[in-house]
Structure 1
Amino acid sequence: MIKKLKEEILLKDASIKKVQFDKYWFYDLKDVEDYLNEDLSEVECIHLPFLIDEVRVNTKCATLEDIERARNREGKTF
């Protein structure tokens, strides 16, 4: 079953790393892939730093709009 993404759910989900720059939220693509259980390698992304266990890690991130655009292109959402 194809999961719909809603920003409110992503913001509340503690298993998905996220960071806000200006007015946009960027989500860790690996975490969203795990949440959706689908490949998001076609999503346009940027690398942003996250602090994980006091270690700075650069992670592939994208906005919800970028993720939805790629999913629509691949026919994964209706």
Structure 2
Amino acid sequence: MNKELNEKTLLKEKTITSVEFDGEWYFKVSDVSTYLEEDLSDVETVSLPLKGGAIECATIDFLKAGRKKTERTEFDKKIIQALNYKPQRKK
């Protein structure tokens, strides 16, 4: 999960098809999957009639809930530990 997932970012992104329906934004799941470079097959979708056909869309909440969580490798854990390291200064 390299990119942060938030509604404002998705709305600004030109490559993602979005539509407002009943006060909520829906995003085309395949476009978001391509943008994030992630598998979003577990996202709960709704078929909406867009561009002459039914397109699988999801709200930002469903997209966040359906993102696959990947375990951090030991290397990633060590990098995060090093980035958060704050040495104590001796007085």
Tell me whether the two structures share a fold, i.e. TM-score over 0.5. Answer: yes
Shift of 1:32: 0.2
Gaps of 5+ in 1: none
1:58 counterpart SS class: strand
Query: Paired residues, what number?
Result: 70
Q: TM-score, normalised by structure 1?
A: 0.82
1:32-52 CA distance string (max 9 Å, x none): 00000111010000111112x
- Is 1:29 the equivalent of 2:29? yes
Match for 1:64 among 43, 60, 65?
60
Following superposition, which runs of at least 4 residues in structure 1 exceed 4 angstroms of deviation?
A: none
> Alignment identity in percent?
40
CA RMSD of aligned residues (A): 1.2
Stretches of structure 2 lacking an aligned partner (at least 5 in a row): 71-91
Distance, in Å, in 1 between the alignment partners of 2:18 and 2:5 is: 14
Supply the distance in 1 between the matched residues of 2:4 and 2:11 (Cα, whole angstroms).
Answer: 14
In 2, Cα distance between equivalents of 1:13 and 1:4: 13
Match of 2:15 in 1: 15
Q: Which has the higher contact order (CA 8 A, sep 6+)?
A: 1
Of Structure 1 and Structure 2, which has the larger fraction of its residues in strand?
1
Find the aligned partners of 2:66 and 2:10 in 1 and give their Cα distance.
Answer: 17
Return the TM-score normalized by structure 2.
0.71
In structure 1, C-alpha distance between the alignment counterparts of 2:15 and 2:53, rounded to whole Å: 16
Distance 1:75 1:39 in 2: 11
